[in-house]
């Protein structure tokens, strides 16, 4: 079932979740344990992030430098297949521009179609230290709207090259939105215009970056509607659990944390987790009371705090 169908058919409170594949060389069992903790709360869908390849440089005993290229967190497609087919939960793999050619993207979408996975989140992806060398006749999507356009073409049965007896690939396309604007955008207006281009290219819904002040989300939704965007906009939430995250989250995700929340955690650091849970509960209550279709949790490595929030609903 498409994410949009779940949104239209279900009533709040409804919570979705985003998980990260385990590091390279690790077992999938740890992340499946997280999924099994989420299952009793009837998740409408679970996102699984994807990660581009990175270059690593190792100094050898003889003083020479060896360059290795690998993906630190592989396994997005396989995890989605396991979760969807073992637990009967819709999954949303993240499809990236960076580190992947358009030809590889098409192959991935064909594979997802075989697996019955009908939802994807189209993401440009973070800057990496590795520039992939393109072979002859290979092309790339530079921006998310270009990726969405390619995915939309596949829904129409339009492939990069003619494929005999090919069929359209049915899927629902999500994209990211930034209530506090993307850090690379010169201003909020430009960022909204970029989001409009993704929706016009074929995006079906939007999931926002995490935020801690609901007013940022409400203002963002208003700006989107005024710009002509009508698709569902799902708010993204992260539960703060430690003093350290007061600096790491703004640094890594370019978000602002309200003074009130910062003060409460700094004044009582031993209870940072419970303060973060209470704050997230109030955020969710306010979001649902004001029309949010769903709340999307960035689980990262803290499913315990997330479920403490969900238990309150």
**252-305, pLDDT tens digit by residue?**
999 999 999 999 999 999 999 999 999 999 999 999 999 999 999 999 889 999
Question: What's the CA gap between 88 and 209, in Å, rounded?
Answer: 27
CA separation for the pair 104, 109 (Å, rounded): 9
Spell 138-166 as b/e; 16+ CB within 10 A means b.
eebbeebbbbbbbbbbbeeeebeeeeeee
- Residue 143's pLDDT band (boundaries 50, 70, 90)? very high
- What is the average pLDDT across 223-227? 98
Among 191, 193, 195, CA closest to 181: 191
How many Å apart are CA 7 and CA 14, to the nearest integer? 9
At 59-108, the pLDDT tens digits run 345 433 444 444 554 689 999 999 999 999 999 999 999 888 999 999 99
Q: Which residues contact 214 (CB under 8 A, 6 or more apart)?
A: 235, 283, 286, 287, 290
- Residue 257's pLDDT is what? 97
Distances (CA, A) of 27 to 23, 31, 93, 254: 8, 8, 19, 31
- Give the model confidence (pLDDT) of 152-176 as tens digits: 999 999 999 887 778 999 999 999 9
Classify 173 as helix, strand or coil: strand
pLDDT of res. 134 = 60
CATH number of the domain that 129 lies in?
A: 3.20.20.220
Residue 52, pLDDT score: 57
- Structural domain that includes position 238: 3-310
When divided into structural domains, the chain yields a total of 1
Q: What is the mean pLDDT of the chain?
A: 89
């Amino acid at each position: 079932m498409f994410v949009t169908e779940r949104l239209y058919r279900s009533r709040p409170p409804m919570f979705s979740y985003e998980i990260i594949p385990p590091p390279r060389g690790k077992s999938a069992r740890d992340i499946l344990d997280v999924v099994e903790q989420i299952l009793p709360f009837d998740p409408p869908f679970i996102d699984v992030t994807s990660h581009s390849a990175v270059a690593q440089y190792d100094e050898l005993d003889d003083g020479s430098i060896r360059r290795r290229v690998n993906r630190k967190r592989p396994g997005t497609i396989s995890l989605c297949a396991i979760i969807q087919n073992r637990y009967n939960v819709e999954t949303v793999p993240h499809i990236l521009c960076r580190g992947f050619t358009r030809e590889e993207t098409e192959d991935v979408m064909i594979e997802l179609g075989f697996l019955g996975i009908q939802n994807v989140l189209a993401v440009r992806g973070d800057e990496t230290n590795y520039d992939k060398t393109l072979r002859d006749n290979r092309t790339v999507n530079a921006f998310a709207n270009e990726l969405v356009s390619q995915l939309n073409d596949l829904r129409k049965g339009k492939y990069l090259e003619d494929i005999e007896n090919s069929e359209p690939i049915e899927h629902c396309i999500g994209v990211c939105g930034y209530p506090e604007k993307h850090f690379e955008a010169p201003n909020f207006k430009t960022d909204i215009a970029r989001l409009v281009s993704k929706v016009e290219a074929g995006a079906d819904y939007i999931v926002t970056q995490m935020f801690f002040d609901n007013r940022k989300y409400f203002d963002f939704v208003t700006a989107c509607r005024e710009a002509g965007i009508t698709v569902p906009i799902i708010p993204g939430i992260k539960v703060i659990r430690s003093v350290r995250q007061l600096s790491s989250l703004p640094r890594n995700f370019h978000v602002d944390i309200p003074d009130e929340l910062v003060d409460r955690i700094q004044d009582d650091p031993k209870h940072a987790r419970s303060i973060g849970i209470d704050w997230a509960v109030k955020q969710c209550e306010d979001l649902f009371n004001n029309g949010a279709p769903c709340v999307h949790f960035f689980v990262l490595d803290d499913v315990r705090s997330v479920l403490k929030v969900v238990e309150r609903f």
